[in-house]
Structure 1
Amino acid sequence: MSKRKKFVNIPVLTHLAEESKDWTYENPLAPGHRMCPGCSIPPIVNMTLLEYGKDVVTGSNTGCLEVTTGVFPYTAWTVPWIHVAFENNPAVLSGVEAAYKAFKKKGKIDKEIHFVSINGDGGSYDIGFQSLSGAAERNHNILYICYNNEGYQNTGYQRSSATPIGAFTKTTPVGSKVVGKEEKRKDLTLIMAAHEIP
């Protein structure tokens, strides 16, 4: 007689949405996320968002923060959070902020809502720079946070334009011909200052 494998019966998780209404956390980013031990992103997110309370809409693009805090059906977010494509988080939050202003002007919303865009260096310095620059040029009222870990860490540590000169990454190996990344790091702060944001 052959032995059959027994599979664990996992109950359907649809009840979580109803139960989660009673869950309370002090922090906007709840414990149980999958960030690397010692990572500075969770305390930065929590300290920043605690300033705004629950009247905040936040978004992040695909990157370390998104893949470790927003995997369905589990999420560490206790405030409204939008996951968007790598290149367009500032553009999406610009649209949400513009819609909020329109609703507020029509008297359909009366409370103050704040908007926070949280992105890695790949989504800020490189792939998402055009939407960041556009949001700044249009003067959208969005707090923009770039957590700069100096490379595309989520996909195995490739260089970005935030990677410092001489750094070793998978795409800038150190050897007899190349001594690491040969280009200087882009000065994103100086570039954003050139937008002359009020």
Structure 2
Amino acid sequence: MRIRQGVAVGLAAIGLAALGPVATPVAAHSGGKAVVLVADLTLTPSGNSWTANTTLVDGDSGSPIRGAAVKAMLGTPAKAHDLTPGSTLGNYTGSLGALPAGPTHLELQVRTLPGSEPIVPYTNAWDFDLTAGQPVTVARETAGGGGSNVALILSVAGAVILLALLYGLFSLRRRTAGPRIER
């Protein structure tokens, strides 16, 4: 019985190690930093001004990026507009002031805030046409390699194997030697 308990403890330790990447979102990142992916960046008219609304996720794990310093840069010379956390995780929003209709250049910068999970510095720019009174989707990025899918698949496979081994281990019935009845 003691051997069985030792095996069960060992298998449980292996299973918890396999679940590690799921339990810690940053574990899947190279260098321990979140990789910014702009899931959505939209400009919406709001009276005489415009509002920027963006959703940022980690390109590796797909989890929302929280605690980031997000700036939208517009105009020449570029004027910085801080975007603040919105109503949902990973959402940032802010007023851009009055913008003229026509060709527009917007640069988005995302940096780590002190005390937050580290982020790979992100800067990207887009050129688009702004039409008065019409919202515009500036960017919608999707993950390219699915790096986090590998960690998730391995973690789930490890958990399934662990459960199967534990089930097999504890479902074995002891065979006891007893008298044989011969016919």
Query: Given the two structures, how large is their TM-score scaled by the length of structure 2?
Result: 0.25
- In the superposition, the TM-score normalised over structure 1's length comes to 0.23
Structure exhibiting the larger radius of gyration computed from Cα positions: 2
